[in-house]
Amino acid sequence: MRHKTFFWFILPSLAAMILFIALPLASVVIQSLHIEHEQVIVTTENCGPFGCTEESSVDTEATAALRAEQPLGRFAGLTTYFDRGHLATAEVAEAWRSRDSLGGFFSELYNLPFYKALAFTLTYTFLVTPLVILLGLMIALGVNRLTPVLKGPTIFVSLLPMIITPLIGSLILFWMIDAQGVIGKNLQWLFDDPDLSLKASPVLTWITLMVYGVWSSAPFAFVVFYAGLQTVNSDSLEAAMIDGATRWQRIRYVVIPHLSPLVVFISLIQLMDNFRVFEPIVGFSAQANATSLSYIIFADMRSDITRFNSAAATSVLTVIGVAILLSPVLVRTWRDFKGKAA
């Protein structure tokens, strides 16, 4: 295809991506380097019988005018990045100096909003992803053994947790685990503790959110693995069997190696999706005990005074996180590409 034709074909799509993905990223960087204008202070000299006093007051009109004229605010460099709401370098250094133990240092760190969100985001990403893969594989192996008549309905039901709107899915579960809901009540009965509430403690909230994450993402892994299982070579399975392999050995040495490229694919998609965990926190109203990077950006924009610069700085840090997360994949693809070219 000639360059010119290619250009015209790709133009609408490329323009949309540049305008609404690339430029917003630039806009986020610019916003994060600015900070809201300070209030305009006017000093007036009041001279009375006992001499003159200087009085300063806030000129609200001038402040509003200035802020309306330059909504971006004034240039502030990297200050927002290092303030208490973000990397909090001063606080971290202080906590490190005055630490009595490593645990104490981490609990200090956990009190800072950015690190609290980062802790949950990373824990969520790196626990949910492997669990999704494991559960998806088990369901796929199980469904693969069903009689053909049952397969269709089973796959239908299995798809539901995945296609459901994340906010709605988490709300449904949230209502069920409520202390007065069906799961909440039965857990109280099971543990014989009438005060048990999954919303009360941070640990239980984290577990609830991760259970939701696995529930909603396992179908994706299941479907991909299930499709992969349809292409396992039955000759090699039979050969393994004749050689005396047990069922487990057949899975371990024939099926799993066949599925391993799919594991890479699922982990890539899941890492990307889990890193932006957001809706479940809104749905489960879990912000007191668990926040994610996406959630604190949302909270900054939703607060009474929209803190554009703070949201933007967190966004930039999040994008850097995504880049780090993706770098192994990108490096690998780059090597493959160079290998192909050479």
- Sites for other proteins among residues 194-223 (CB under 8 A): 215, 219-220, 223
**161 scored as a contact of other proteins (CB under 8 A):** yes
As a whole number of angstroms, the distance between CA 262 and CA 29 comes to 35
As a whole number of angstroms, the distance between CA 128 and CA 197 comes to 22
**33 scored as a contact of other proteins (CB under 8 A):** no
Site for other proteins in 249-268 (CB under 8 A): 250, 261-262, 264-266, 268
Which of 325, 283, 302, 299 lies closest to 117, judged by CA?
299
**229 scored as a contact of other proteins (CB under 8 A):** no
**290 scored as a contact of other proteins (CB under 8 A):** no
Strands annotated E in the chain:
34-35, 41-48, 51-58, 74-75
- Give one word for 44, left, alpha or beta, with left for phi > 0 and alpha for psi -120 to 50: beta
| The two three-digit tokens of residue 79, written as one number | 């200050």
Q: Which of 63, 67, 175, 197 binds other proteins (CB under 8 A)?
A: 175
| The two three-digit tokens of residue 250, written as one number | 């057949």
Site for other proteins in 59-88 (CB under 8 A): 71-72
Q: Quick one: which segment of 58-66, 103-111, 125-133, 314-322 binds other proteins (CB under 8 A)?
A: 314-322
Instruction: Find out whether 219 and 161 touch, Cβ atoms under 8 Å.
Output: yes
Q: Which of 111, 238, 252, 257 binds other proteins (CB under 8 A)?
A: 238
82 or 175: CB nearest other proteins: 175
Q: Which residues make Cβ contacts (< 8 Å) with residue 177, sequence separation at least 6?
A: 183, 184, 187, 198, 199, 208
Q: Quick one: which segment of 1-9, 38-46, 86-94, 192-200 binds other proteins (CB under 8 A)?
A: 1-9
127 or 326: CB nearest other proteins: 326
Q: Which of 119, 138, 196, 204 binds other proteins (CB under 8 A)?
A: 138
Instruction: Find out whether 254 and 236 touch, Cβ atoms under 8 Å.
Output: yes
**126 scored as a contact of other proteins (CB under 8 A):** no
Q: b/e per residue, 191-209, with b = 16+ CB within 10 A?
A: eeeeebebbeeeebbbebb
Dump the DSSP string for 300-323: HHHSSS--HHHHHHHHHHHHHHHH
118 or 311: CB nearest other proteins: 311
Q: Which of 37, 67, 99, 185 binds other proteins (CB under 8 A)?
A: 185
Total of residues contacting other proteins (CB under 8 A)? 113
**23 scored as a contact of other proteins (CB under 8 A):** yes
Q: Quick one: which segment of 26-34, 50-58, 78-86, 95-103 binds other proteins (CB under 8 A)?
A: 26-34
